[in-house]
Chain A
Amino acid sequence: MNRELKNTLYTWAILIISCSLLVVPLPEFLSFFRLPWLSLAVIFFSIMTPAGFGVISAWIIGLLADVLQGNIFGGNAMALSLIAYLSYRFHLQIRVFPMWQMMLSVLLLLFLNELLVLWVDGIQGQMTFNYIRWLGIILGTLIWPIFMAFLLNLKSKIL
């Protein structure tokens, strides 16, 4: 298998897994621990390995997430493709940032993603203020260094 194909397979495997994690059933006391895995993965791929990823990939996986979560068709697709685009625009800067600035950028991107999803919900008239999702953004930011190191390590081991 050549390198490029392997890279694509790796990317999509991670994307599908993070997409599945969105709907994993959690017991009541763990329900706050619902991280925006898919957004994190999209940001990771756009910043770290943009070659095997792109706006279209983000859009397609967003559509899959919409069907999976029973959301309006295209809501996540819109938000994630925009996030992928923005992360790529600044990926050269973000890559060389010190960790805390990198985490801050991730926080900003996750926040924007959440706002977009909330906006789409609001247009449909079902906007509910859900503190769990905002908590998820902060937890997602805190977990970013581990998340990034894990995916980079895994990649260098597999490829």
Chain B
Amino acid sequence: MPLSGEATTTRSRGQYSTSKLLFFLILAFGLMYLDYKGQYLNKVRSYISVTTYPIHVVMNAPKNIFLKLTESMGQREKIILDNQKLKTENITLGSQIQKIYSLERENKRLRELLDSKPKTEDIFVLAEIVTENPDPFKHRIIINKGSKEDVHTNQTIADSKGIIGHVIRDQIFGSEVLLITDPEHAIPIEVARTGLRSIALGMGSYEEIKLSYLAVNTDIQKGDILLTSGLGGQYPVGYPVAIVDKISALEGESFLEVRAKPFANLTNINEVWVIQRAVDGAIEFE
């Protein structure tokens, strides 16, 4: 077995002294405590992330380039088909938008009648995904817009179909996003049909989130659409989150077991919108 022939024992003893270890262990525990208790360390973290962001970009470059290449080398017929599909989709969407114009006008007129402040519009910023967290139980991604482009903690991330999650840490060139399916995540929702409010919790599966503590006699059906309720001030009001998929009432339990499927495509995220909310868009509780 090859051994390095250096006489290292006496030279290196100082680098492994017990006092050094104890000092750095205590330092590590201090950092963990600060990081856990408050967000004191986010500035430090965002500065260190300047060095880690290039690592993410480099490690994900082969995958991202491969995806781009397969996209651009796609067969001609497929592109033509896609184009046709998009054209028809565009026409339908266009006709739906016409309705929205009139609705928006009507909404504005009614608000003027009521003398209430009109809702200001949200700003959308397009971002691309850099990497996903390799741990299958941590549903987190990093996107390529950070505090340099005015993307900050607590802003909402959505794709074209629904809410994806929100920014938990802004770095300088990118930001970390917690997905709604992460076991640590909870999002206040409202059932579109009945106005019932609840909280949807992530479960660690990309396909479903759950509503807990709904009494057995709650009016909820399969196919009900869940929107963000805006309570708590974290998410803007009225964005689609998920569709109720499965309801089961276990005998002897006092609560329903409700599972819902997120609208957003969480397994294959490519481009996302960062929703930068207008200031008075939500109800705030402090």
Interface residues of A (CB under 8 A from B): 16, 19-26, 31, 34, 46, 48-51, 53-57, 59, 62-64, 67-70, 72-75, 77-78, 81-82, 84-85, 88-89, 92, 95, 99, 120, 123-124, 126, 128, 130, 132, 149, 152-153, 155-156
Q: Which residues of B line the A interface, CB within 8 A?
A: 1-4, 6, 8-9, 11-12, 15-18, 20-21, 24-25, 27-32, 34-36, 41, 44-45, 48-49, 51-52, 55-56, 58-60, 63, 131-138, 140, 142, 169, 176, 183-184, 204
Query: By the criterion CB–CB under 8 Å, are A63 and B55 in contact?
Result: no
Chain A contacts for B59, CB-based, 8 A: 20-21, 23-25
Residues from chain B with Cβ under 8 Å of A88 in the complex? 12, 16
CB distance from B187 to the nearest CB of A (A): 17
Give bound CA distance, A75 to B34, whole Å.
12
Find out whether the CB atom of A78 lies under 8 angstroms from the CB atom of B25: yes
Interface centre among A24, A26, A124, by most B CB within 10 Å?
A24
B21 with A126: CB separation less than 8 A: no
The 3 tightest CB contacts between A and B, nearest first, are A54-B15, A74-B31, A78-B28
Contact A89 B136, beta carbon cutoff 8 Å = no
In the complex, besides A23-B59, A70-B138, 5 extra interface pairs with C-beta distance below 8 angstroms are A54-B15, A67-B45, A74-B35, A120-B32, A149-B2
Residues of B close to A62: CB separation below 8 A: 28
Residues from chain A with a CB closer than 8 A to the CB of B135 are 69, 130
Determine the main DSSP class of A at the interface with B.
helix
**In the complex, which residues of chain B have a beta carbon less than 8 angstroms from the beta carbon of A69?**
133-135
Please state if A70 and B11 are interface contacts (CB–CB under 8 Å). no
Residues of A within 8 Å of B4, CB to CB, are 48-49, 152, 155
Q: A72 — which chain B residues lie within 8 A by C-beta?
A: 32, 35-36
The answer to whether A54 and B35 touch (CB under 8 A), given A70-B176, A128-B137, A152-B2, is no
Q: Nearest chain B CB to A75's CB is how many angstroms away? A: 6
Q: Which of B28, B41, B58 interacts with A20 by CB under 8 Å?
A: B58
Measured between beta carbons, the chain B residues less than 8 angstroms from A21 are 59
Interchain CB contact under 8 A, B2 and A51: no
Contacts of A56 in B (CB 8 A): 15, 20, 24
Contact with B9, one of A48, A73, A92 (Cβ below 8 angstroms): A92
| Interfacial chain B residues near A54, Cβ < 8 Å | 12, 15-16, 20
Chain A residues with CB under 8 A of B44: 73
Determine the chain A residues whose CB is within 8 A of the CB of B137 once the complex forms: 128, 130
Closest chain-A Cβ to B5's Cβ sits at a distance in Å of: 10
What B residues does A64 contact at CB under 8 A? Answer: 48, 51-52
Distance of B283 from chain A, by nearest CB (Å)? 28
Pick the residue among A46, A68, A78 that contacts B32 (CB under 8 A): A78
A-B contact pairs, 23 of them (CB 8 A): A20-B58, A22-B134, A23-B55, A23-B131, A31-B134, A50-B9, A51-B15, A53-B12, A54-B16, A55-B15, A55-B21, A56-B20, A64-B48, A64-B51, A68-B52, A69-B135, A74-B31, A77-B31, A88-B12, A95-B3, A120-B32, A152-B2, A155-B4
**Are A25 and B63 closer than 8 Å at their CB atoms?**
yes
| Neighbouring A residues of B45 by C-beta, 8 Å | 67, 73
